[in-house]
Amino acid sequence: MHIISKILHGLAVKGIICCTATAVFAQTQTDDATNTFTPYSLYGLGDLAKPGIAYNLGMGGVGTGVRTPRVINFINPAALTAHDSLSFMFDFGIETQNYYSANYSAGEKQYSAANNMNIHHIVMSFPVYDRVIVGFGLLPYSSVGYNIQRKENRDSIIAETGHTYYQYTGEGGITQGVLSIGVPIGKRLSLGGQAQYYFGSIDRYSIVDFEAGAGYSDLTSGQLLKVGNFGFALGAQYEHPLKNNLMLTVGATYQFATKIGKRKIDFAYTTTGSLVDTVAWNTNTDDLMSLPATVSAGFSLHKFDRWMFALDYVFQDWRNSGFENQSPTKTFKVTPSHLLRTGFEWIPSRTDFRNYFKRCSYRVGLSYENTYMRFSGHNINNISATIGFGFPINRWNNSVNFSAEVGRRGTTKNDLIRETYMKFSFSFSVYDIWFIKPKIE
């Protein structure tokens, strides 16, 4: 029992992947059928998805103050009123993710890489009365995916147990079903509301595998989290015309805090040959995690069908989320997050039917986030740059949109992990005019 306590104490002290925990960072990290693959998804609800579709993502994720009749902007429900009152719109997207992680711990360089591809979103919108527009769909909220392995390197433990191996595995994620409504108030002001239903599951496991013949039982422990709850957000946008055919739009959203967990099971069992002995099995529906209130504000300045510049700021206070209670290491702390994102779109000439590329949209963006993660007093920051393109198809506003994002999260200083990632998003936007009464002569 003394050596088992020593092993478990070492895990608790070292953590799993960060700060002094990075001694446990993946010696090997292999990609299974997960919807993400990043060691940072080990904490909280996993790797949080950027909101929006490829249109937004190509401009750094902006959307709070963006109004356009060409695509569906779910970041601010008030933006739905920008759609034509006779239009039906549908958007389907996929995303590929590529991660490269590095850690320099105790003079040793460790690397890992992984990639995957998944369906990103399915959304649609249509009018229900005059200029009142409704939209609904499925969007990602977070994803968990990691497979971290290491071999015991403490001589005192190897001398007693032989070679011992540790493995940490997580998978799952949270999806949100959304129902939005946008209502115009006069000519300039629009208000919106959005209801979300969060659902999904997150499974996390850790395994201590002793060498055969050492006389110790292998130990497996973990946590199963079932998610299912409602959320609600409000949004507003106001348009103000300027000189030279310019339009200024300011917007804001408020997402109410909500409990996210439905049921959590903590378990542990030992394995000796074919014998399995349950050590712990606890079901909890009280001490669950929650999503914080979120405030965003932004603006856009655009010249109709030529160019647009947008800037957003997002604040979330995660300190009451309960993430620290579920953390595998005491070095992990939760802090408020601050996100600044900006983007620009340029369309050379939307009406030039002789030159196809002049009708295309060209987008760029930047994003900087001081995330909610802190390890031993060091915050994890996330910075990225994006580009995007919109390729018109046939008539109306049918298009194929593409975005690419290159970013870096964390650092190799202070025994932390630096993660470089590349994400590619494709979405197919279908636009049609419905609800037209035919004229009979």
* 224-250 tens-digit pLDDT: 989 989 999 999 999 999 998 999 999
Could you report how far apart the first and last alpha carbons of the chain are, in Å?
Answer: 92
β-bridge mates for residue 96, sequence order: 117, 424
Q: Which superfamily does 2-433 belong to?
A: Outer membrane protein transport protein (OMPP1/FadL/TodX) (2.40.160.60)
The answer to whether 382 and 371 are in contact (CB under 8 A) is: yes
- Integer Cα distance of 153 and 108 in angstroms: 13
pLDDT in tens, 281-296: 988 887 678 899 999 9
pLDDT at 103: 73
pLDDT at 160: 72
pTM score, two decimals?
0.86
**Would you give per-residue pLDDT tens digits along the chain (441 residues)?**
445 444 444 443 334 444 333 333 433 344 444 556 788 888 888 899 999 999 999 999 999 999 999 999 999 999 999 998 888 999 999 999 988 887 766 556 777 778 888 899 999 999 998 889 999 999 999 999 888 888 877 777 777 777 788 888 899 999 999 999 999 999 999 999 999 999 999 999 888 888 766 677 888 988 898 998 999 999 999 999 999 899 999 999 999 999 887 788 888 988 887 788 888 898 888 767 889 999 999 999 999 889 999 999 999 999 888 887 766 677 788 999 999 999 999 999 988 888 999 999 999 999 999 999 988 888 999 999 999 999 999 777 899 999 999 999 988 887 788 899 999 999 999 988 776 666 555
